[in-house]
Chain A
Amino acid sequence: MFAFVKKPQSAALAFLIAGAVWFVVGALYGMVSAIHLVAPEFFSNIPFLVFGRERPIHVNTMLYGFTGTMLTGCGLYYLPALLRTRLYSEPLGWLSFLFWNLTVASGPLGFSFAYTQGREYNEYIWIADISLMLAVVLLIYNLVMTIVQRTEQQLYVSVWYFVAAFLWTAGNYPISNVVWHPSTGAMPGLIDSIFLWFWGHNLPGLLITPLATGAAYFVIPRITRTPLNSHTLSLAGFWFLVALYTHIGGHHVLQSPIPNWLKTVSVVDSIAMVVPVSIVVLNLWLTARQEGQRVWGDPAGRLVMGGIVWYLITCIQGPLQSLPYLQRVTHFNNWTVGHAHIAMLGFGGYIALGAMWHILPLVSGREIYSQRLVNLQFGLITFGLTAFFLVLTTAGLIQGSAWHNGETVYRVLPEIAPFMISRAASGIFILGGSLIGLYNLYLTLRQGRELQPVELLRAEEAS
């Protein structure tokens, strides 16, 4: 009955499919949240669709469910492929899949009924935290054993990022979620915000970033059919990332009464983040040099390269908004929401989608049902996200400047109303993109032309 769990690459495929499903779920919750910021009386007084509950469902489903799950699926394929072996254990992979997705499902199923710890990015209740930890630990074991049985001596940079993402998460997640306080998942007092934002920042920085970077390092050279520009640079990028990113959670509570030395560290290291980011972007850019046609001409490659562009924008914006003087205006408002979207959907999401479309034929043995639908997805999401970024950033500047100028939050509400309407409207494009993706994925698995073993081999060897 459970024979399917032994099928090679079945766990990777399962992660990819789940990612595409969660993308739709997350987008639906995002859509309702956006509508509620325009019309709070829409679906009013429905407990499981109240803004304070649906927003964290949206955020967590997108982070862990869509980007996290899909990028993990990609890694479960490329890590063994790069090491010229098979995943150590498919059933273990499935077990991770089960625990991981139980945690993600506890968002819509639990938060809707107020089963949440309520701390941003650490909302999952204790038992779901444990489930996620189990998934991560099993993944680590599986990956390390895969490395042990490898037939390729060299560890390519994607392998480091993929393994390290889980090594870091295994330490980071339980600390920040204060798992030793099961009922609240929190520390008493102000220090909680330091614990909270340790993960709050490292979830993007030490989970999504390495996963996405690893996937991009895998896909781009394959599409351009050129070797990676520089291994030394990728080494430097890797070590700078973990050395700097871990220190900057404090910039999320920069204006709160946390100790000044922490604020200083977080600001200085936020600015220093320019270094690892430039390294990654440059290294990939130089790899694709002269081969732009191939990358931008390939529907999956376009998504991955688009993700790198968003990464660059995010990480120019990030250090700027960590400057205390600037943050007086940009903090607490939609500016940050704009940043979060280009980071999570633009950087994490684009690369997840691009890598997924690139890898899907390799794990399913079927050709993508429609490359045009992939292009349509790229177009829809790019339009929606660009609009999001412009609209939310503008709304944020209006709010921030008005408040700074002494206007009350209530009074500024009518000023941002047109922006909230445009934001909800742009959301339709992103939701559309997610639906088309799921549709295309479904048809690929049902109707995609089966690739001959030779074709598959040739595809695998292309790297």
Chain B
Amino acid sequence: MKMTPALLIVGALLVFWASAFIIVGIPSLTMKETPSEIWRPLTAEEEAGHRLYVRNGCSYCHSLYIRINDWDIGAERIAKSGDYVGQEPAILGSERTGPDLSQEGGEHPDDWHLAHFVNPRFTSPISLMPSWEFLGPVEIRQLTAYVQALGLKAADARVARQRYWKTPAAAAYASGLDANVEWLHSQVPEVWRRMPNPYPASEASLQRGKRIYQEFCINCHGPVGDGKGPAFRYMNPPPLNFTTLRRHLVENRYIGGIFYYQIMNGITGTGMPYFKKHLESEKIWDLANYLGVSFVGYTDANIDPRGIDASYEEPWQNRYPQPGQEGAGTGK
């Protein structure tokens, strides 16, 4: 075969267009736009947020589809083609510097997003996401509306739950420090409220707790645990001031189980996120010890009721006295 100009031009074009027909032509003819069970159209404000998402390159760090082997946020639902009907563009993304956002709606309340967009480090201290404060309040609101719609009907259910709990949480905060804590604790299931931290507050455990606190919590609850981190001014209710908890130990003894439950589960309606996906069990207990020792001056680690000590545990004596019993000895 000899390459003549005609063969070159006609041949190259023929092969190309034949392939193009197979790869984009046939899908255009056969792929049907059938809405999935969670699909709904976007509102005008959400649509505006979608434009902002596309134009500001959120997609270079976030994907918008969940695969079968995913675990992070949204892993409850594998993406279906019907989720994207009418979206132009359905910007799937190719990199996850940040988590997938296809089910982001309702993960957090709006005030969390406000603080996060102003500066992601306010809510997520080691985040690599840029600050979007320069967009201004109107565009941040549109972006928030859009991310709250990610997941469509499934997101609507979660957003409704956030809204539902926002009212009593804000009211409790307005009713004073102590009443707020009482309300918070009244929401924690009974079994957790009387559960001491089963693990010793050893030096190593406290060190681990501190590191985790710095990577996850510090800019909300603050370096001294008073809830006055930089996110404070964006949230209602603001992050909890742990130092007041000394007055609210259950039976003047227990707090570990409450810590564990709240950290694991988050407090829907408030900026307090759940950490069960980020942190395994031992890490949460370490955090609970760290919060107790550093900010409450007391931890219920290793007190009764307790079962058989774990096999690896060092012998450890709780030397943190209950409030009001300072100087009374070992605290046992």
Please name 4 further chain A to chain B contacts, defined as beta carbons within 8 Å, in addition to the given A118-B59, A259-B27, sorted by A numbering. A163-B12, A189-B84, A403-B72, A407-B71
* Contacting pair B57 A191 (CB below 8 A): no
Say how far A345's CB is from chain B's closest CB, in angstroms.
18
* Complex contacts, B30 vs chain A, CB 8 Å: 259
In residues 147-169 of chain A, which contact B (Cβ within 8 Å)? 147-148, 155, 157, 159-160, 163-164, 167-168
Given A191-B31, A194-B27: A44 and B131 interface contact (C-beta under 8 Å)? yes
* Contacting pair A328 B88 (CB below 8 A): no
Listed residue (B3, B83, B92) with the most chain A CB atoms within 10 angstroms of its CB: B92
Task: Report which of A144, A148, A187, A198 forms a contact with B23, defined as CB distance below 8 A.
Answer: A198
* Complex contacts, B59 vs chain A, CB 8 Å: 52, 118, 120
CA distance A185 to B88 in the complex (A): 8
Closest to A53 in B: B57
Segment among A92-100, A242-250, A307-315 that sits at the interface with chain B? A242-250
CA distance A198 to B16 in the complex (A): 12
Say how far B103's CB is from chain A's closest CB, in angstroms.
14
Given A40-B121, A45-B133: A147 and B5 interface contact (C-beta under 8 Å)? yes
CA distance A192 to B55 in the complex (A): 16
A-B contacts, 29 of them at CB < 8 A, read: A37-B128, A40-B120, A40-B130, A44-B130, A52-B58, A52-B61, A116-B54, A118-B57, A120-B59, A120-B94, A160-B8, A163-B12, A164-B8, A171-B16, A171-B17, A190-B90, A192-B88, A247-B19, A247-B22, A257-B79, A265-B23, A332-B94, A332-B95, A332-B96, A337-B95, A407-B71, A408-B277, A410-B124, A413-B127
B residues adjacent to A (C-beta < 8 A): 1, 3-5, 8-9, 11-13, 15-17, 19-20, 22-24, 27-28, 30-31, 33, 54-61, 63, 65, 67-73, 78-81, 83-92, 94-99, 119-121, 124, 126-134, 215, 277-278
A403-414: contact bitstring with B at CB < 8 Å (1 yes, 0 no)? 110111111011
A158-184: contact bitstring with B at CB < 8 Å (1 yes, 0 no)? 011001100110011001000001001
* Complex contacts, B86 vs chain A, CB 8 Å: 188-189
CA distance A134 to B298 in the complex (A): 73
Task: Report which of A155, A337, A408 forms a contact with B8, defined as CB distance below 8 A.
Answer: A155
Say how far A199's CB is from chain B's closest CB, in angstroms.
10
Q: Is A371 in contact with chain B by the CB < 8 A criterion?
A: no
Say how far A388's CB is from chain B's closest CB, in angstroms.
16
A-B contacts, CB under 8 A, total: 230
* Contacting pair B69 A193 (CB below 8 A): no
A242-277: contact bitstring with B at CB < 8 Å (1 yes, 0 no)? 110011011011011111001001000000000000
* Contacting pair A53 B70 (CB below 8 A): no
Q: Is A195 in contact with chain B by the CB < 8 A criterion?
A: yes
Say how far B328's CB is from chain A's closest CB, in angstroms.
41
